[in-house]
Amino acid sequence: NLASIALPMFVRHARTGAAPSEPSSTLTTPAPEFDHAELVRVAKVCVRNLNRVIDGNYYPVPEARTSNMRHRPVGLGVQGLADTFIKMRLAFESDEARTLNR
């Protein structure tokens, strides 16, 4: 009952909303932004689907089934924070990076 979300998928250009392509010129392109609303939406979908896996899963012993049905354990993580900082042109030690990492 585990899943992971790739954070770089939520980096968007400020004006267009499109995912940034390969860097062409940092002087002419708008600074990328992080789409928090889309991350929230995707996280909700992931948790809902992980919860459904519990119902349809095979449990080899009755105790495992009882425990999972009672506690409904799910784990949702994120990966790619460093890649996100790079796509957004943020220094790892910057205040903006710290704010994004909250």
Model confidence at 31, in pLDDT bands (50, 70, 90)? confident
Model confidence at 30, in pLDDT bands (50, 70, 90)? confident
Average pLDDT for 8-23: 73
Residue from 37, 58, 39, 35 nearest 47 by CA: 39
Structure tokens at 91: 């220094």
pLDDT over 60 (residue 24): no
Q: What is the pLDDT of residues 53-100, one digit of tens each?
A: 999 999 999 999 999 999 999 999 999 999 999 999 999 999 999 999
Q: Which residue has the higher pLDDT, 84 or 22?
A: 84
Q: Which residue has the higher pLDDT, 97 or 27?
A: 97
Q: Which domain holds residue 84?
A: 2-100
| Contact between 1 and 73 (Cβ < 8 Å) | yes
SS3 for the chain is CEEEEEHHHHEEECCCCCCCCCCCCCCCCCCEEECHHHHHHHHHHHHHHHHHHHHHCCCCCHHHHHHHHHHCCCEEEEECHHHHHHHCCCCCCCHHHHHHCC
pTM: 0.81
Domain count, the chain: 1
